[in-house]
Amino acid sequence: MPFSWMRILIFLTLLGIMFSVKAAPTSGDKWTEDNPCLSNNTRLEVCQRCAKITKSPIVYPMCCKNKEEGFSWCMRYLKYPN
């Protein structure tokens, strides 16, 4: 008998926690609003090529926003002779 009460208590506790959590992912529109690559075709091409060649998921946003001089780095990287 105590085992079934324990299950009910755990279930109700988890249910209460689920309803009290207010976390939600941010909307995807934020990146498109702040994306400088959308207004500059040269930057867009450089950043896309750089992200494709490096195969790194952080290169494209860093390049577009020029975070830590990402765009300058990509320009130098793409001009480096193979």
Chain segment 39-51, per-residue pLDDT in tens: 889 999 999 999 9
Residue range 19-39: average pLDDT? 70
What are the backbone angles phi and psi of residue 4, rounded to the nearest 5°?
-70, -35
Average pLDDT of the chain, as a whole number: 84
pLDDT for res 15: 85
Residue 3 has pLDDT above 70, yes or no: no
Q: How far apart are CA 22 and CA 45, in angstroms?
A: 39
Residue range 51-74: average pLDDT? 93
Q: How far apart are CA 64 and CA 43, in angstroms?
A: 7
pLDDT for res 53: 94
Q: Which of the pair, 68 or 81, is modelled with greater confidence?
A: 68
